[in-house]
Structure 1
Amino acid sequence: MPFDPRPLLIGSSTYDVIVDRFERLFPLLERSIDLYLAEAEVRRFFNLAPRHDELIRIEAASGHQIGVCRYDFTVSASGIPQIYELNTHCPSSATTAVYFGELAAGSRVQARLDALGLRRRALPLERRNSFATAVRAAAAAAGHPVSGVGVLNSRYLTMTNELDNIVKQFREIGLPVARGYVEDLSYRNGQLVLAGLPVDLTYNKFDDSSGPDAFECAFSRTTAEVDAYLQAYRDGAVHAINSFGAMYLTEQKSALAFLHSDLFAQHSTEAERALVAEIVPYTVVIRRADARMLDQLATQRERFVLKKSLSTRGRDMMIGRSVTDQDWHRALAEARAAEASEDWVAQRLAPGLESTLNPIDGGDPVPVFTNLACFLFAGQAVGLFIRTSVEETTNIGRLGFMQPPTVLAE
């Protein structure tokens, strides 16, 4: 790591504002899923690919539809969070918070804060096994006492990040757990089984395919290969974290555009619409943008970011102020020509935090960009993690690294 990952200091009152706004937004996301299931017009707004739509529309006994999510955001000069994306698919890094909390508590920065009488505020996310404990509690609240856990990957769309930590947490709270491919599940007599273990709680960690080479199923090569899981899900024999609605609807960046839409306004209060306007930078689906909006996008690239609706890890994203006119117009043309089921959105730029860091091996200070992320378990905000990068797209897969957060008690 080229930089010293010193803790980022956040005032307690600022953190409380973040928690308040994010917890108030959460029910609007779950309402979006309900509206998608109930209203054909909402489904037309999203116009999802069949591989996503068919999964979302499977009925399941699921209690909270979004068990674990992570809002990625920055903070305005007035201390108000500005959300970039929602991360309700399989958000990473919740299980690393305990280690970053320990790093911050033992840091040189904290020693200096202690000398000044400034105390570090403990956050629930930093407790041992907080992730596994919250997931088990979500299943129990939905009427699913947990006797066995399956931590699921896909043989064809593999994601390995953090899975060992997740398995470790479940074991440490005393739950039998198996890690394996979703294609290897069996389902007989109302019981889902993975590697010989009966499971009634699953954690889904799948990537997605897209474009002309997309698989038949969103998280596997064919639907037939995951039929056991889909049947158990339909039957309510398993509590899945997250639900397919969370994984393939609110994960879409077009979900932010939906919150700003006239269609959602019909199903929300004035106070809820004011909340969206306050904390979600204006977002529009390119396919649905009117002539005035398209003209703004073409002539004011410095004010906007282009993003593919369903994409992760900083891929398929362009920050207007960081590229040339030629590159921007090419990307905008491609976004307008994309198939409806492969939507792009434009979002008003909410600049990340800018600072400089000193390289460990010496040399001149380097400009860096910092964004924040907040985890919510069953709608309750539980803690933060911080990402910093020399690129404005702050992703640890793109010249980025994580910093521990320190919320100062006041």
Structure 2
Amino acid sequence: MTIAEMPAISKTDARIERRLCELATCDPASMWRAQDELSSAIAEAGMHFEGRAYPVCLRPFAIDSGLANHLGVTAEAVIELLDVVAELYCRDEKIQNMFPFYKHLRHWITNIPKYRPIARICRLDGLFGSDGHYKIIETNTEAPGGVIQNGLAANIWSRIANPLTPGLSLDVSKQPFAKDPSCFVQELMSAYYSATGSRLRTAAVVNFRGRYMNEVDLIVNGLRDAGSKAETFDASAMKRTRRGLIGPDGDLIELVYNKLDPRDLVATSDLSDYLDACAAQEVVSINPWISQWILADKAILAVLSDDQFSSNFNAKQIELIARHIPWTRLVGEGVTTDPERRRIELIGYIRKNKANLVLKPSNATRGEHVLVGRLTSSEMWEEHIDRAARNPYVVQQYVAPGEVTALHLPNRSIKKMACGIDCYVFGGRLAGFQSRASLDPVMNVGRSGILLPVAIE
């Protein structure tokens, strides 16, 4: 089987779907009892989504080992590619100009660490294109959700009696973060050792104004269990001293994990101590500012997919980009090339090709203001083209999501939903998968989406 022929959905997954539809008709009570047992076990383990139930579905997404290996190889190669782009950003003014929102932050961004990969913790979000190739539509190199919870959830799911999977051989333990719940914390420890040659003694999970607290307790407790002193601090409470970065208790901090929305830091004037210390590498920062701001911005996919930058990549990298990065452009007046490499005037092309395009703010999260052309009225599309031309937006080739029938937890019903599969990469190596499903074509747990445990047959 060639890569282009690899199915997104396995025969086993199709069998699970048929079984779900049968139970939904003949014995829905047994199915929902098992779902409630799973949901209770998830809650008892301390998992949540911003104080709400962590929406893990009883129905898994099953993939075969060949596809799992292919996704891992692809994800790891893309992380290496992001290192190349980070270095290009630091020296190429044309590429810097594709990220105008961060122009005043370059003195923090361009002081990049020597260790590789730069994005030590990352989640690549993807869908399967019509050509059969896995397409990465977002990079999530800042502080992606699910780094601990999804591995724990898969592990708990595997222990629940499941009426959807009798007689099936499904394994979650082939994913490192499901096999070993300490996988994420061990990567933080390893990242510190790689940067310093020393064992980590003190760490902080850095938040800002109490937002994005999911998994924070799990991370802090995991670091403590590994023998490090760890706390949660607000970024504004950090102080830069001659000794290094200190927290409000006055103790020196050796590593910080940024669990925050980096956009919130851009316009805040009282964070210079923290920003300066991280940029100067007086503390090991996971992930560094170039990863938080530039590599996480959707315009990074425009850098990768635009022919004008292809001379910066070798033949293997160009092939990787062609297969796995969808056509993406920063929205603005001017001439570029379309997905078939024909010269076009971009704004006119966006107007004429609504059905095949998606408009996205380049640095928004959780699907904010994403517009799928084929699901949008012509009037709204025109309005967003004007907005996109005045603000940092990207236009991207539409990649249709897969479809899956699953238990929609918010309203306790069986629904056919859009779905995709995402790859977690820790320290340049695949850590595991997540599959999101949603009634909304813009899939996000924050928009009533659900999570399907990924199991490998």
TM > 0.5 fold call: yes
Q: Which residue of 2 aligns with 1:175?
A: 228
For residues 364 and 137 of structure 1, the distance between their equivalents in structure 2, rounded to whole angstroms, comes to: 43
TM-score normalized with structure 1 length = 0.88
Native 8 Å contact 1:10 1:405 kept in 2: yes
For residues 41 and 361 of structure 1, the distance between their equivalents in structure 2, rounded to whole angstroms, comes to: 46
Q: Does 1:250 align with 2:295?
A: yes
User: Per-residue displacement from partner, 1:327-376 (whole Å, max 9, x unpaired)?
Assistant: 111111211132xxxx1001111111113335579997422111221111
Native 8 Å contact 1:149 1:202 kept in 2: yes
Native 8 Å contact 2:401 2:418 kept in 1: yes
Equivalent residues, number: 393
User: Per-residue displacement from partner, 1:37-69 (whole Å, max 9, x unpaired)?
Assistant: 122232123334334433212455555321111
Q: Percent identity?
A: 22
Task: Note the aligned Cα RMSD (angstroms).
Answer: 2.5
Q: Which residue of 2 aligns with 1:13?
A: 66
Q: Which residue of 2 aligns with 1:65?
A: 118
Match of 2:253 among 188, 191, 199: 199
With over 3 angstroms needed to count, the CA separation of the structure-2 counterparts of 1:123 and 1:407, relative to structure 1, is same
Q: Which residue of 1 aligns with 2:22?
A: none
For 1:228, the aligned partner's letter is: D
For residues 174 and 374 of structure 1, the distance between their equivalents in structure 2, rounded to whole angstroms, comes to: 29
Where does the alignment leave 5 or more consecutive residues of structure 1 unmatched?
A: 210-214
With over 3 angstroms needed to count, the CA separation of the structure-2 counterparts of 1:128 and 1:111, relative to structure 1, is same
Native 8 Å contact 2:333 2:346 kept in 1: no
With over 3 angstroms needed to count, the CA separation of the structure-2 counterparts of 1:79 and 1:120, relative to structure 1, is farther
For residues 384 and 3 of structure 1, the distance between their equivalents in structure 2, rounded to whole angstroms, comes to: 13
Report the CA distance between 1:232 and its aligned residue.
2.6
With over 3 angstroms needed to count, the CA separation of the structure-2 counterparts of 1:328 and 1:360, relative to structure 1, is closer
With over 3 angstroms needed to count, the CA separation of the structure-2 counterparts of 1:231 and 1:334, relative to structure 1, is closer
Q: Does 1:148 align with 2:202?
A: yes
Q: Which residue of 2 aligns with 1:124?
A: 176
Q: Which residue of 1 aligns with 2:35?
A: none
For residues 4 and 12 of structure 1, the distance between their equivalents in structure 2, rounded to whole angstroms, comes to: 22
If asked which structure has higher relative contact order (CA below 8 Å, sep 6+), I would say: 1
SS in 2 for 1:53: helix
Q: Which residue of 2 aligns with 1:392?
A: 441
Native 8 Å contact 2:79 2:428 kept in 1: yes
SS in 1 for 2:257: strand
With over 3 angstroms needed to count, the CA separation of the structure-2 counterparts of 1:265 and 1:234, relative to structure 1, is same
Range 22-31 or range 288-297, more displaced: 288-297
Q: Does 1:267 align with 2:312?
A: yes
For residues 153 and 364 of structure 1, the distance between their equivalents in structure 2, rounded to whole angstroms, comes to: 36
Report the CA distance between 1:180 and its aligned residue.
0.8
Report the CA distance between 1:204 and its aligned residue.
0.8
User: Per-residue displacement from partner, 1:124-161 (whole Å, max 9, x unpaired)?
Assistant: 12112111111110121122531100110123x83322
Report the CA distance between 1:104 and its aligned residue.
3.0
With over 3 angstroms needed to count, the CA separation of the structure-2 counterparts of 1:248 and 1:359, relative to structure 1, is closer
Q: Does 1:407 align with 2:452?
A: no
Q: Which residue of 1 aligns with 2:373?
A: 320
For residues 216 and 334 of structure 2, the distance between their equivalents in structure 1, rounded to whole angstroms, comes to: 39
Range 228-237 or range 293-302, more displaced: 228-237
User: Per-residue displacement from partner, 1:296-343 (whole Å, max 9, x unpaired)?
Assistant: 3212211111001101011021111111111111111211132xxxx1
For residues 99 and 275 of structure 2, the distance between their equivalents in structure 1, rounded to whole angstroms, comes to: 23
Match of 1:330 among 367, 383, 391: 383
Aligned pairs (5 A) from 1:99-114? 99-109=152-162, 112=165
User: Per-residue displacement from partner, 1:188-234 (whole Å, max 9, x unpaired)?
Assistant: 2323221323211000122244xxxxx7x52x620xx2233234334
Native 8 Å contact 1:158 1:206 kept in 2: yes
Aligned pairs (5 A) from 1:271-290? 271-287=316-332, 290=335
With over 3 angstroms needed to count, the CA separation of the structure-2 counterparts of 1:285 and 1:122, relative to structure 1, is same
Q: Which residue of 1 aligns with 2:338?
A: none
Report the CA distance between 1:5 and its aligned residue.
3.5
